[in-house]
């Protein structure tokens, strides 16, 4: 053998040992080669691993180690220099890489360790969040329960339902064994067990309200744990075995309606509380949790609110019921009043008629009797009878008038009349009585007072007469003066009549009448009573006076109807008084109404129409003559015409009336021509047709051609008289056929 | 004086008879009321006028009905006039016949008309006689110094 530089083994290489080393080296190399492969494989799989290049280094180190071991396989036997060189290179490289790796690891391992700590930290955090999540969920549950409870409680306005529902829902939500409500009694000194969950009928335990535990609970608005042994919690007889569950009590404010002060809610002035006691199931080792306590507090508040709403509702229902009752009662009273009024009116109407009939008989017969031959004695008696019956008749009229006035069914009879004449008439009527009492009466009518006025003559006269009559009646001495004038705007507004707003206008004027007397006067405080029905100013002097006391009341109503005002001024007893009234009267137009002296007045009754120019149109000589004579008999100035043409020739503005026979063939045409001739209404004579036809057609035809009236033949003197007067007053007359 | 009272009673009875038999109606009383001092002969005048008018009308009616072609319109107009006059003085029976006469005119019933004409003539002559008797009685009373008051 040549000597080589290789180291020769000391002993001869044993074949077995060599074999084992050979195999081990092979497997080591295999392992060394496969480990990096595995590493690469798994690193490729995971995306997270941050130290790739460390791995590469490591891989390289392992590969080289493996390579070294692999090359070792060739060094067991004789090997060439190349192998040695390769071996050396491999070893050198391996050394370098492994050193580098070792150095690198020094950096890396602390990092890796810190990763571990972070991981632990995160795990803790996660656990904590889990816990918190659990808590939140619990709270949310609680909230849901509260909402549900509130909804249940507030869905009804009935007190009992509210309380019962509260207990039931609370029991369900919190899985309570027992839940009870203690309400304060009326006296406020005790708490009475009013509602329980499990027991159907609470037996009415009471506990005094001043117990320390109760005070403690009432003093705070929080739910408090109390001992299960306290009297409020001992609802069932304890059987010694089981451990009673924990008990919580909370106060429930009872709000009374009168406690509502909007500004200091929820500070309540008088505090009444009820006590709600909740018991957990015994032997359950359950504890009251904070969120459960909060739930209980919230529920207690809600119950308080719901109860207050229920109370308000009760109040309002009661008030409404009361109102309804009152309404019914009022309605009933009104209907009764109406019935009474109707009964009174019927009575009055009937009585009035019943009373008037005999009155009429008495008056009529007495006046007839007066006309016959009587001895002076008898005459005196008859006159007394007449006077008394007239007085009675006036009284009846007064009473009826007043009742009609009150109903508002009285209407003024408006008509044109002579105002001055009214005053003269009053004077004439009152003078005899006044002269008997030796009271001079003076009448002062202002010169600018219109002579004619439009109004209700009869009632105006009644009013003036009543006022003047009162003046005379209540005066023993002194004079009575009546003044009448047109009220100007300054004197219209009187401070004593603040409600009176007279509005002067063109076709109306206000008549002011003042009646002054120096009689016994009236106490100023009594003045308002004067105008009330049946009230008398009772003084000694008037005790004997007659009169029902209706006069002034009626006058006041008449004056009001005439849109006026009446009042009395007096300085006191013994100082006389002045009665003043203002009424609204119409001014007649300047047509035939005022200047027409033919106006028939109910009092006088027009019997003749002196100078009234009438044209008679009739083609029948006999009828013409008869009609003419009729009119002449009534005092008219009659012209006749026998044909339409003659009529149109003769007629003039002076003719006030044209009487034509409707049976004439041209009568209708004559009417038409008359209308054409006199276009203005007040120039045209009134056209009246005399007809023997009773049918409607004739009447309609007459109306169509513009006739002012139709009269049925035969016409008597009286009929002609009344027809003429009505025609002239109303300018139209259509006799009913 | 007895004769006056007797005459008056006679007048009363006679006028009552006339009213009862329907020769006169209330219109006649109305006419009497129109008579007064200013017009003392009013009733006689009116009645005389009525007689003249009626005779004329009756002649016209007779003539018209004799015509070949009867003019009913004219006849109706005449009858209407007669009716008016008679009603104005209160000759009730004449008036009633006139109403019937007019109906026949409308129906253009020549026989009816002729019959009515005869009736009217008859009634007219009756009432004329009666009224003349009445007026004679009145004159006798007035001549004897009595007074007459209508209505009786």
Provide, rounded to the nearest whole percent, the portion of chain B with pLDDT above 90: 30
SS3 A253: strand
User: 3-class DSSP state for residue B94?
Assistant: helix
- Of residues A207 and A127, more confidence is placed in A127
Q: Which of B38, B49, B87 sits opposite A625 (nearest CB)?
A: B49
Q: Which of B25, B84, B131 to mutate to test the interface with A (most CBs of A within 10 A)?
A: B84
* Fold (CATH) for B2-136: 1.20.120
pLDDT band at A601 (very low <50, low <70, confident <90, very high): very low
Chain A contact for B80 (CB, 8 A cutoff): yes
Report whether A379 contacts A352 (CB < 8 A).
Answer: no
For residue A2, the model assigns a pLDDT of 55
B89 vs A626: CB contact, 8 Å cut-off?
yes
Task: Please tell me the predicted confidence (pLDDT) of residue A200.
Answer: 63
- Within 8 A of B49 by CB-CB distance, chain A residues are 621-622, 625
**Range A180-207 average pLDDT:** 78
**Which of A607, A626, A662 to probe by mutation at the B interface, max B CB count within 10 Å?**
A626
From B44's Cα to the closest Cα of chain A, the distance in A is: 12
The answer, yes or no, to whether residue A717 has pLDDT greater than 80, is no
**pLDDT tier at A602 (50, 70, 90 boundaries)?**
very low
Q: What is the DSSP letter of A208?
A: E
Average pLDDT over residues B128-132: 93
**Nearest C-alpha neighbor of A461 from the set A488, A438, A482:** A482
Q: Rounded to whole angstroms, how far apart are CA atoms A346 and A354? A: 12
Cis? peptide before B151, omega within 30° of 0: yes
Tell whether residue A548 is among the known ligand binding residues: yes
| pLDDT tens string A114-159 | 888 889 999 999 999 999 999 899 888 878 887 887 887 778 778 7
CB atoms within 10 A of CB A670: 25
| A635 and B CB contact within 8 Å | no
**At what angle are helices A551-561 and A457-473 packed, to 10 degrees?**
140
Which residues of chain B are within 8 Å of residue A635 when distances are taken between CB atoms? none
Q: Is the pLDDT of residue A193 over 90?
A: no
Residue of A nearest to B54 (CA): A622
User: Which pLDDT value is given to residue A626?
Assistant: 85
* Residue A630 near chain B (CB below 8 Å): yes
- Encoded tokens for A412: 């003024």
As a whole number of angstroms, the distance between CA A73 and CA A85 comes to 14
On the question of pLDDT at A698 being above 70, the answer is yes
Q: Do residues A678 and A685 make contact, with C-beta atoms less than 8 angstroms apart?
A: yes
CB contact under 8 A, B34 and A633: yes
What residue spans of chain B are helical by DSSP H?
Answer: 2-20, 26-34, 42-66, 72-89, 92-107, 110-143
Q: Confidence band (pLDDT; 50, 70, 90) for A3?
A: low
Q: Is B42 on the interface with A (CB under 8 A)?
A: yes
The answer to the question of whether A65 is labelled as a binding residue is yes
pLDDT for res A99: 87
The single residue listed with the structure tokens 């060189």 is A85
Q: Tell whether residue A392 is among the known ligand binding residues.
A: no
**C-alpha–C-alpha distance, residues A517 and A501, integer Å:** 28
Among the residue ranges A381-390, A401-410, A581-590, A621-630, the one predicted with the least confidence is A401-410
Instruction: Cis check for the bond before A341: say yes or no (omega within 30 of 0).
Output: no
Residue B4 touches chain A, beta carbons under 8 Å: no
Q: Could you tell me whether strands A565-570 and A733-734 are parallel, antiparallel, or unpaired per DSSP bridges?
A: unpaired
Q: Confirm whether residue A307 is marked as ligand binding.
A: no
For A634, the closest chain B residue by CA position comes to: B34
CB within 8 Å: A620 and B84: yes
A69 is in an annotated binding site: yes
Q: Is A577 annotated as a binding residue?
A: no
Cα–Cα distance, A75 to A87 (Å, whole number): 9
Q: How far is CA A345 from CA A332, A404, A446, A540, in A?
A: 20, 8, 42, 35
Q: Is the confidence at residue A604, as pLDDT, over 50?
A: no
Q: Lowest mean pLDDT: which of A273-277, A591-595, A694-698?
A: A591-595
User: A409 to chain B, minimum CA–CA distance in Å?
Assistant: 42
Query: Is A623 in Cβ contact with B88 (below 8 Å)?
Result: yes
Average pLDDT over residues A355-359: 81
Query: Which residues in chain A have Cβ-Cβ distances shorter than 8 Å to B77?
Result: 665
Option in A625, A632, A717 nearest B30 (CB): A717
Q: For position A722, what pLDDT does the model report?
A: 83
- Across all residues in chain A, what is the average pLDDT? 79
Q: What is the predicted pLDDT for the residue at A734?
A: 61
- With cut-offs at 50, 70 and 90, classify the pLDDT of residue A490: low
**pLDDT score for A534:** 58
> CB of B121 within 8 Å of any CB in chain A?
no
**Residue B131, class by beta-carbon neighbours within 10 Å (0-12 exposed, 13-18 middle, 19+ buried)?**
buried
Write the CB contacts of A599 (distance below 8 Å, at least 6 apart in sequence).
A416, A593, A606, A728, A729
Q: How many Å apart are CA A496 and CA A677, to the nearest integer?
A: 57
Mean pLDDT calculated for residue range A546-554? 67
Residues whose CB is less than 8 angstroms from the CB of residue B115 and which lie 6 or more positions away in sequence, other chains included: B104
Does residue A70 register a pLDDT over 60?
yes
Q: Mutation test of the interface with chain B: which of A620, A622, A624, choosing the one with the most B Cβ atoms within 10 A?
A: A622
Segment A570-599 mean pLDDT: 72
Provide the pLDDT for residue A11: 58
The band of A542, judged by pLDDT with boundaries at 50, 70 and 90, is very low
B59 close contact with A: CB closer than 8 A: no
- What would the two tokens of residue A4 be? 């080589």
Would you say residue A689 has pLDDT above 60?
yes
pLDDT greater than 60 at residue A31: yes
CB-nearest to A629 from B42, B77, B85 is: B42
| Higher per-residue pLDDT: A717 or A260 | A717
Could you tell me the residue ranges of all domains in chain B? 2-136
Distance, CA of B101 to chain centre: 16
Q: How far apart, in whole angstroms, are the C-alpha atoms of residue A685 and residue A653?
A: 7
Torsion sign, CA atoms A212, A213, A214, A220: positive
Please indicate if the annotation marks A472 as binding a ligand: yes
Chain A residues within an 8 Å CB radius of B84? 620, 622-623, 661, 663, 692
A434: number of CA atoms within 13 Å, CB side?
A: 22
pLDDT tens sequence across A279-331: 888 777 788 888 888 888 888 888 888 888 887 888 888 899 999 999 999 99
Give the minimum alpha-carbon distance from A645 to chain B in angstroms, rounded to a whole number. Answer: 19
Q: Encode A78-116: b = buried (16+ Cβ within 10 Å), e = exposed.
A: eeeeeeeebbeebbebbeebbeebeebeeeeeeeeeeee
Mutation target among B34, B37, B38, B90 for the A interface, most CBs of A within 10 A: B34
Closest by CA position to A705, among listed A677, A673, A737, A736: A673
A637-673: pLDDT as tens digits: 888 988 888 888 888 888 888 888 887 878 888 888 8
In B, minimum Cα distance to A661 occurs at: B84
Cβ distance of B45 and A633 shorter than 8 Å: no
Please report how many Cα atoms fall inside a 13 Å half-sphere around the Cα of residue A538, on the Cβ side: 2
Give B87-99 pLDDT, tens digit per residue: 888 888 999 999 9
pLDDT at residue A729 above 90?
no
Interchain CB distance below 8 Å, A626 and B88: yes
Q: What sign for the dihedral angle of Cα A359, A362, A365, A368?
A: negative
Q: Which of A242-246, A273-277, A453-457, B19-23 has the lowest mean pLDDT?
A: A242-246
Band the pLDDT of A599: cuts 50, 70, 90.
very low
Percent of chain A with pLDDT over 90: 7
Spatial contact of A25 and A72, defined as CB atoms under 8 Å apart: yes
Structure tokens at A69: 């071991």
Structure tokens at A165: 């529902």
Check if A665 contacts B (Cβ < 8 Å).
yes
Confidence class for position A540, pLDDT limits 50, 70, 90: very low
| Residue A291 to residue A287: CA distance in whole angstroms | 11
What confidence tier does A332 reach under pLDDT thresholds 50, 70, 90? very high
* Residue of B88, B91, B102 to mutate for A, most A C-beta atoms under 10 A: B88
Q: Is the dihedral of CA A35, A36, A39, A41 positive or negative?
A: negative
d(CA A109, CA A506): 124
Residue in chain B closest to A625 (alpha carbons) equals B46
CA distance B43 to chain A (A): 9
- pLDDT tier at A535, thresholds 50, 70, 90: low
Q: Chain B partners of A632 at a C-beta cutoff of 8 Å?
A: 34, 38-39
Three-state secondary-structure class, residue A685: coil
Query: A236 pLDDT band (50/70/90 cuts)?
Result: low
- pLDDT of amino acid A720: 83
Question: Mean pLDDT across the stretch A404-417?
Answer: 74
**A428-457 pLDDT, tens per residue?**
888 888 888 888 898 988 888 888 888 888
Rounded to whole angstroms, the Cα distance separating A735 from A224 reads 103
Residues with Cβ < 8 Å from B56, sequence gap 6 or more? none
Q: Which residues contact A559 (CB under 8 A, 6 or more apart)?
A: A463, A565, A566, A581, A582, A583
Find the range with the poorest average confidence among A132-146, A253-267, A593-607, B61-75. Answer: A593-607
**Contact residues for A615 (Cβ-Cβ < 8 A; gap 6+):** A638, A639, A640, A641, A647, A650, A651, A655, A657, A658, A659, A685
pTM beyond 0.95: the answer is no
State the Cα–Cα distance between residues A463 and A445, nearest whole angstrom: 17
Coil/strand/helix, residue A732 = coil
pLDDT band at A9 (very low <50, low <70, confident <90, very high): low
User: CA A8, A10, A16: angle at the middle one, nearest 5?
Assistant: 95
**pLDDT for residue A411:** 74
Please give the interface size between A and B, counted as residue pairs whose CB atoms are below 8 Å apart. Answer: 62
A278 known member of a binding site: no
* Residues of chain B positioned with their CB less than 8 A from the CB of A622: 46, 49-50, 53, 84-85, 88-89
Please list every residue in chain A whose beta carbon sits closer than 8 Å to the beta carbon of residue B50.
622
């Amino acid at each position: 053998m040549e000597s080589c530089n290789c180291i020769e083994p000391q002993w001869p290489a044993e074949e077995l040992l060599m074999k084992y080393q050979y195999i081990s080296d092979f497997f080591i190399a295999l392992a060394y080669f496969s480990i990096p492969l595995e590493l690469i494989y798994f690193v490729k799989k995971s995306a997270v691993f941050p130290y790739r290049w460390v791995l590469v280094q490591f891989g390289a180190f392992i590969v080289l180690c493996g390579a070294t071991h692999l090359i070792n396989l060739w060094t067991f036997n004789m090997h060439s220099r190349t192998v040695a060189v390769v071996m050396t290179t491999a070893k050198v490289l391996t050394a370098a890489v492994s050193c580098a790796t070792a150095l690198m690891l020094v950096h890396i391992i602390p990092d890796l360790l810190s990763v571990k700590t972070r991981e632990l930290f995160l795990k803790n955090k996660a656990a904590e969040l889990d816990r918190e999540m659990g808590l939140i969920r619990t709270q949310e549950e609680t909230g849901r329960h509260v909402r549900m409870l509130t909804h249940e409680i507030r869905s009804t306005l009935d007190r009992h339902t509210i309380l019962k529902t509260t207990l039931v829902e609370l029991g369900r939500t919190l899985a309570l064994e027992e839940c009870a409500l203690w309400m304060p009694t009326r006296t406020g000194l005790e708490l009475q067990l009013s509602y329980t969950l499990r027991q159907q009928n609470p037996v009415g335990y009471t506990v005094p309200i001043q117990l320390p535990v109760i005070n403690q609970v009432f003093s705070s608005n929080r739910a408090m744990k109390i001992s299960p042994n306290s009297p409020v919690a001992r609802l069932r007889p304890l059987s010694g075995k089981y451990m009673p569950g924990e008990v919580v009590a909370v106060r429930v404010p009872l709000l009374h309606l009168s406690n509502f002060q909007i500004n200091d809610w929820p500070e309540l002035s008088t505090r009444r509380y009820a006590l709600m006691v909740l018991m957990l199931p015994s032997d359950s080792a359950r504890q009251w949790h904070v969120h459960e306590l909060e739930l209980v507090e919230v529920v207690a508040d809600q119950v308080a609110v719901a109860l207050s709403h229920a109370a308000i509702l009760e109040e309002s229902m009661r008030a409404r019921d009361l109102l309804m009752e009152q309404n019914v009662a009022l309605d009933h009273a009104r209907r009764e009043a109406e019935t009474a009024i109707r009964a009174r009116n019927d009575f009055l109407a009937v009585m009035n008629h019943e009373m008037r009939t005999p009155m009429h008989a008495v008056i009529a017969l007495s006046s007839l009797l007066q006309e016959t031959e009587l001895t002076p004695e008898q005459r005196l008696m008859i006159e007394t009878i007449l006077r008394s019956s007239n007085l009675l008749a006036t009284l009846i009229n007064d009473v009826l008038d007043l009742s009609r006035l009150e109903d508002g069914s009285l209407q003024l009879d408006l008509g044109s009349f002579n105002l001055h004449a009214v005053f003269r008439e009053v004077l004439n009527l009152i003078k005899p009585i006044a002269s008997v009492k030796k009271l001079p009466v003076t009448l002062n009518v202002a010169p600018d007072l219109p002579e004619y006025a439009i109004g209700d003559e009869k009632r105006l006269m009644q009013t003036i007469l009543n006022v003047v009559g009162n003046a005379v009646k209540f005066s023993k001495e002194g004079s009575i003066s009546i003044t009448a004038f047109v009220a100007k705007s300054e004197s219209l507004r009187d401070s004593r009549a603040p409600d009176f707003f007279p509005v002067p206008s063109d076709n109306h004027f206000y008549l002011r009448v003042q009646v002054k007397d120096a009689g016994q006067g009236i106490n100023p405080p009594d003045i308002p009573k004067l105008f009330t029905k049946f009230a008398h100013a009772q003084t000694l002097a008037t005790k004997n006076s007659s009169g029902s006391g209706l006069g002034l009341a009626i006058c006041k109503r008449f004056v009001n109807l005439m849109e006026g005002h009446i009042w009395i001024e007096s300085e006191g007893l013994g100082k006389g008084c002045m009665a003043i009234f203002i009424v609204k009267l119409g001014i007649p137009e300047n047509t035939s109404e005022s200047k027409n002296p033919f106006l028939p007045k109910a009092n006088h009754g027009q019997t003749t129409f002196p100078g009234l120019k009438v044209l008679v149109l009739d083609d029948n000589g006999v009828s013409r003559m008869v009609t003419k004579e009729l009119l002449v008999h009534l005092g008219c100035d009659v012209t006749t015409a026998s044909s339409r043409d003659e009529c149109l020739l003769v007629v003039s503005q002076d003719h006030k009336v044209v009487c034509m026979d409707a049976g004439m063939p041209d009568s209708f045409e004559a009417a038409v021509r008359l209308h054409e001739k006199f276009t203005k209404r007040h120039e045209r004579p009134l056209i009246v047709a005399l007809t023997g036809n009773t049918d409607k057609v004739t009447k309609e035809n007459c109306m169509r051609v513009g006739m002012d009236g139709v009269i049925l033949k035969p016409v008597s003197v009286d009929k002609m008289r009344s027809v003429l007067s009505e025609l002239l007053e109303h300018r139209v007359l259509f006799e009913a056929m | 004086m007895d004769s006056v009272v007797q005459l008056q009673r006679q007048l009363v009875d006679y006028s009552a008879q006339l009213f009862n038999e329907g020769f006169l109606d209330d219109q006649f009383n109305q006419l009497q009321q129109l008579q007064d001092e200013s017009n003392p002969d009013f009733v006689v005048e009116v009645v005389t006028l009525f007689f003249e008018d009626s005779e004329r009308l009756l002649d016209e009616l007779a003539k018209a009905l004799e015509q070949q072609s009867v003019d009913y319109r004219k006849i109706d107009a005449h009858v209407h006039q007669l009716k008016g006059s008679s009603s104005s003085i209160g000759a009730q029976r004449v008036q009633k016949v006139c109403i019937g006469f007019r109906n026949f005119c409308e129906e253009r019933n020549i026989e009816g008309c002729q019959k009515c004409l005869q009736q009217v003539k008859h009634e007219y002559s009756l009432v004329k006689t009666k009224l003349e008797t009445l007026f004679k009685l009145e004159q006798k009373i007035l001549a004897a110094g009595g007074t007459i008051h209508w209505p009786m």
